[in-house]
Amino acid sequence: MRIEDLWLRYGPRAPWVLREVSLSLPAGATAVLLGRNGAGKSTLLRAIVGTLTPARGRITDRPEPVAWVPERFPPDQPFTVADYLTHMGAIRGRRPATARSAARDWAERFQLTPYLDVRLPALSKGTVQKVGLIQALLVPPGLLVLDEPTEGLDGAVLAELPRVIAEVTATGGSVIVSDHSGALVDLPGARTWQVDGGHVTEVLPAAGGGRRVIEVAVSADRATDTVAQLRAAGHEVLRVRDEPAARWSAR
């Protein structure tokens, strides 16, 4: 995805929130968006997902499907958690039975199972944020955008978040996550985008040291776990590709 000379504001006479933003994010990469409160992180994320039209500039090669987890998930909808997630899965092209089963699997992983039959307005803020996260993951995202997930999610889900992000990037998805607290600044392999004074700059790693690229082959069913382990150990996973079975067994 390429962001080219983006200018953003809320209305034709309003002050610019962000100016001259140019960034790129390859498939399978993660960017952590840092900046103080009110710096413009949510504004940039809204433009990236397409809910805010830039006054100038453009975004090209945006991966599909886009999955958006807003800072405040709107809970004022009259559905139970299970029904809401099933509908959301169906809207994204899943058969209702498949969507319901995916929702149950994610609910189990995020300790949401006891709330599946509870209506959204009755949930606590943290629990409703879990629903917001799950609705984004029902279909594997090409681009996952998370706005301040450390704000609403409980510790168990937060601890799981780097692994969820690693699973998305392992299948070629890109991830952008904003974090004014800095809690996600050490997300393994992630690049850092800093929002300050109306500009967004990529913070480059300190120079020196050099790197060596190692190609590693694992069986297909271990790929996701291996990528997660390598990232957890602080390594950058550059690419994941499939190799035909014949070539694999000939080694």
Burial per residue of 171-180, b for 16 or more beta-carbon CB atoms within 10 angstroms, e otherwise: ebbbbbbbbb
Query: Which residue stretch of 39-47, 199-207, 220-228, 236-244 sits at the interface with ligand ATP (rule: CB under 6 A)?
Result: 39-47
For ligand ATP, the closer CB: 71 or 167:
71
Query: Which residue stretch of 34-42, 74-82, 100-108, 227-235 sits at the interface with ligand ATP (rule: CB under 6 A)?
Result: 34-42
Q: List all residues 6 or more positions away from 4 whose beta carbon is below 8 Å from its beta carbon.
A: 22, 57, 58, 59, 60
Distance separating alpha carbons of residues 214 and 5, to the nearest angstrom: 35
Binding residues among 62-91 for ligand ATP as defined by CB under 6 A:
71
Judged by CB under 6 A, the residue of 37, 53, 219, 249 near ligand ATP is: 37
**In terms of DSSP H, where are the helices of the chain?**
41-49, 81-91, 96-109, 125-137, 149-152, 155-170, 223-232, 245-249
Does position 180 interact with ligand ATP (CB under 6 A)? The reply is yes
Does position 17 interact with ligand ATP (CB under 6 A)? The reply is yes
Judged by CB under 6 A, the residue of 29, 32, 43, 139 near ligand ATP is: 43
Burial per residue of 188-213, b for 16 or more beta-carbon CB atoms within 10 angstroms, e otherwise: bbbbbbebeebebeeeeeeeeeeeee
Instruction: Give yes or no for a contact between 191 and 30, defined as CB atoms under 8 angstroms apart.
Output: yes
Does position 38 interact with ligand ATP (CB under 6 A)? The reply is yes
Does position 219 interact with ligand ATP (CB under 6 A)? The reply is no
Does position 10 interact with ligand ATP (CB under 6 A)? The reply is yes
Task: Retrieve residue 117's tokens.
Answer: 């039959």
For ligand ATP, the closer CB: 11 or 244:
11
Query: Which residue stretch of 32-40, 90-98, 128-136, 200-208 sits at the interface with ligand ATP (rule: CB under 6 A)?
Result: 32-40
Distance separating alpha carbons of residues 112 and 89, to the nearest angstrom: 17
Residue 64: strand, helix, or coil: coil
Amino acid at 220: A
Does position 127 interact with ligand ATP (CB under 6 A)? The reply is no
Does position 42 interact with ligand ATP (CB under 6 A)? The reply is yes
Does position 40 interact with ligand ATP (CB under 6 A)? The reply is yes
Residue ranges that bind ligand ATP, judged by CB under 6 A: 10, 17, 35, 37-43, 71, 180
